[in-house]
Chain A
């Protein structure tokens, strides 16, 4: 099992450019999440999905879009990147349940917007 993988690992964008981050998991988990981590801070939830074809907003969703077309993949899109979106992005997945169970994290994507 590869667990949770993220592509790419690093990326530099210019202001206004667009890009898509890919998260893949091979654990057959229903729930998937995108977080961002700014320097010296904890993680904040951007968007999440409780199953294929469903997405929901988290704490800081502005400027991002997501899609969950396949159960194993969760895509995070930036349509027009801004310097404020410079951050490390983490994807996570967890099995279903009445409450969130243990979350498993990917290695992160470091994004710099110039």
Chain B
């Protein structure tokens, strides 16, 4: 089956810094989604982005499906950005395959 890798596995930032999270996948996909899991365990939809670029406030994402990767950019990070960021891809099936996540800690 399709493999999903995320890097880095862990990231520590000072408040105000910028960061880039990466998601690589091993096969063609037609859908991709980024989630933020907050420290209370809630999964929050960030982007539904099978291709192209989207922006929402301080966050933006770019997916290049032909090269099998997606990037999530966080600018001017805040402590509330802490948590785990997952990407999930749909490999033409009926469900998503999740990556292992990037754990982000933003320090005040």
Interface residues in chain A, defined as those with a beta carbon under 8 Å from any beta carbon in chain B: 31, 33, 41-45, 48, 50, 56, 58, 88, 90, 99-105, 107-108, 110
Residues of A within 8 A of B4 (CB): 42
From known contacts A101-B48, A108-B41, infer whether A43 and B98 are also in contact, taking CB-CB under 8 Å. Answer: yes
Interface membership of chain B positions 75-108, coded 1 if the CB is closer than 8 angstroms to chain A and 0 otherwise? 0000000000010101011111011110000000
Point out residues on B near A: beta carbons under 8 Å.
4, 30-31, 33, 35, 41-43, 45, 48, 86, 88, 90, 92-96, 98-101
Contacts of A33 in B (CB 8 A): 95
How far apart are the CA atoms of A101 and B86 in the complex, in Å? 17
- Are A102 and B95 interface neighbours, CB within 8 A? no
Question: Contact at A108–B30, with CB atoms within 8 Å?
Answer: no
For A110, what are the chain B residues with a Cβ–Cβ distance below 8 Å? Answer: 41
A41 touches B33 (CB 8 A): no
Q: How far is the CA of A103 from the CA of B4 in the complex (A)?
A: 18
Decide if B99 touches A99 in the complex (CB within 8 Å). Answer: no
A101: chain B residues within 8 A (beta carbon): 31, 48
Q: A106 to chain B: closest CB distance in Å? A: 8
B residues near A58, Cβ cutoff 8 Å: 95
